Chains A and B, each alone.
Chain A
Amino acid sequence: MSVATAQIQVPPSRVMRYLASGVTPVLAVVLAIIVGGLVVLASGSNPVVAYQQMLVGAVGTPFDISETLISSIPLILAGYAVSFAFRCGLFNIGAEGQLYMGAIASTWVATTFSSWPGLALILICMVAAMVAGGAWAGIAGLLKARTGAHEVITTMMLSYVAIDVSHWLLEAGPMTPSNAFGTPESGPIPPQAAFPIILPSSILPNARLNASLFVTILAGVAFAWILWRTPLGYEIRAVGFNAKAAAYGGINVARRLIIAMVLAGAFAGLAGMVPVWVSGRLYDSFSPGYGYEAIAVALVGKNSAIGIFLAGLLYGAMIHGSVAMQANANISGFLVQILQALVLFFVGAEMLVRWILKKGGLRRVLEVAG
């Protein structure tokens, strides 16, 4: 009978394959929720209440949905930064520093050319963010290509340097505003340069969701288009798949490594600009670790544009939802970090998830996913 079914099987369509490839991450999320629930239970609280509060907090009202999206955007953009490098076989563990550089450069441009008209200013700010992030990542790419310096160290070390530089700029350097009350922060981003709010206050009062959402969607399109629709992307993926074979095939591996890092850094630079624009100023330590969480987002999203977008939304929802959970259920919001870690763990331990699928009689899903 199994032979007969095998004979009439048609090759799965692209859509089916795409959906099937999402099964392991989804199952990883389910497993994480179960194990996370056990942690809550063990700590003497009710996991159902915890998850209910988190869900309501994340998407319970249109305002919360807007806040969830705001939390997700830097994670998604930084996720693209990590993933783009991954596709070239590089582990960009220092997206955090590239993000800082993007934030610093865009803030500097915005506060320096504050008399410019809005559209021109916001565009050059975005360019500045991408150039700064790209250049910072490009150093690591260049060193990798020229001397073989391991990118895990160089990007991480450059991250610490970028963060220290931002502390200096805001605490004792040229970006400290003279009228600051001792709080390390830059001058304000000029109002005409702000991303327009998507929903006017007549529809949704105080909503902060702005046009950076569209920038993020465009970034996702660019990510997929470059990687899968251009010769450059093909070559970057070829280097990531097997650098020796790519070199044998006539691809200039060194140059592709550098370009991949620069483009990755450009995504991270944008990721750094968005939170500054939401809060209206560059604050000291403005990032709660977007660049590090982005590594998880990239991995959970399986390095695909849509996957990263969805993973970013999930992580953003957990972050925003945890605020309400802590307030209403008196359970530490750090439960979210446990959940994020567990999702990542189960995505990594794919063998375990596959084994569960097989036991559950869902072998076909695995075959379709390939």
Chain B
Amino acid sequence: MDIVGTFGPIFARPDLWAGTLRFAAPLTLAALGGVISERSGVVNIAMEGMMLVGAFFSVVVAAATHDIVLATLASVVCGGLIAAIHGVASIHLRANQIVSGMAINLLALGLTSFLMFRFFATNGTPANIPALPDVKIPVVDGIPFVGDVVGDQNIVVWLSILAVPIVWWFLFRTRLGLRIRAVGEHPRAADTLGISVFGIRYLCVILSGLLSGLGGAYLALSVAHSFSNNMTSGAGFIALAAMIFGKWNPIGAFLACLLFGFGQSLGINLQGTGFPDQLVSATPYLLTVVALAGFVGRAVPPAADGVPYEVGE
């Protein structure tokens, strides 16, 4: 097979790179949420479920009101609500957070599929729902190649990219961020200093739900323009991997999301070239394993990650 002949023209396609950003956006939002939650000491493998809930309710509200702002709000609120359930289980009930997270994922899948049948039977969601707007950047739009890549991206793509430095700044340069990290590393010490461990953890878990919910809305209202059962199909788990791959750092997680986004985009762009796209779509996953084993090294989570905090002794 002529590797250069196959891949060369594809790498020159703006579609490949625009697609990378598009696929990375929902992953980035969910992964950033995961970073915030785990930095506060609550293990969060439930981004998949939170995205799914966000996607579903954004479509329900979009179909009912035809208002894109309300629909987006609904996704964020519902993502936050289901995250709050994970919060109660992990923080107050001191449940095993992996068990609770897995339960949230299954619950989200079951509930959205169940309600899908109830609301839309087997007809699918209506076609005339509003979409999240694309942002046309006047001058950049006209530049060849660059314009095609970033000139006309969805608003959520830009939000996800903007969110990366914001979350980094929030976690590492603000008082609240310092408190979050303190609670995640040594909750007892933080508690002694008068920081509310429970309060901080609830805040962070719910923040992760808000971000994942928005990621879900993007998948439903920009990529698919509909909801179908299990439509996130593992995006939340990829975001989880990106979070660990990025060593619980917003920037690292974003880079990992770009890698996964690139893999997905490459798989799509290779369709029809005769190159087995099934094997190409496996490449980023394989790369992750190699990278993780080879040069990323031991990923060390926050010290109190996953350890429920008990008040008093």
Contacts and interface: CB of A to CB of B under 8 A. Distances in A.
Nearest to A352: B93
Given A334-B114, A341-B106, A157 B293 contact: no
Contact of A153 (B89, B245, B297): B245
Contacts of B69: none
Given A153-B244, A157-B288, A337-B113, A342 B118 contact: no
Nearest to A167: B278
A48 interface: no
B98 interface: yes
B286 A147 contact: no
A295 B292 contact: no
Interface string B200-242: 0000000000000000000000000000010000100100110
A147 B293 contact: yes
Contacts of A335: 110, 114
Contacts of B93: 349, 351-352
A224 interface: no
Given A332-B118, A336-B110, A344-B106, A153 B288 contact: yes
B107 A341 contact: yes
Contacts of A152: 45, 240-241, 244
B159 to A, nearest CB: 26
A147 B118 CA distance: 49
Interface in A278-293: 293
For chain B, give the interface size range: 35 or more
A331 B245 CA distance: 41
Contact of B241 (A39, A157, A345): A157
Contacts of A93: 45
Given A164-B278, A342-B103, A348-B89, A153 B292 contact: yes
Interface string A315-347: 000000000000000001011111111101101
Nearest to B96: A348
A156 B102 contact: no
A168 interface: yes
A164 B282 contact: yes
Nearest to A91: B98
A148 interface: yes
Contacts of B240: 152-153, 156
Nearest to A40: B114
A171 B294 CA distance: 32
B282 A160 contact: yes
Interface of A: 39, 43-44, 91, 93, 139, 143, 146-150, 152-154, 156-158, 160-161, 164-165, 167-168, 171-173, 293, 295-296, 299, 332, 334-342, 344-345, 347-352
Given A43-B118, A150-B299, A338-B107, 14 more contacts: A93-B45, A143-B292, A152-B244, A153-B244, A158-B285, A158-B289, A161-B285, A165-B282, A168-B279, A335-B114, A338-B111, A341-B104, A341-B109, A350-B95
9 contacts: A152-B241, A156-B241, A158-B289, A168-B276, A296-B103, A334-B109, A335-B110, A345-B95, A345-B107
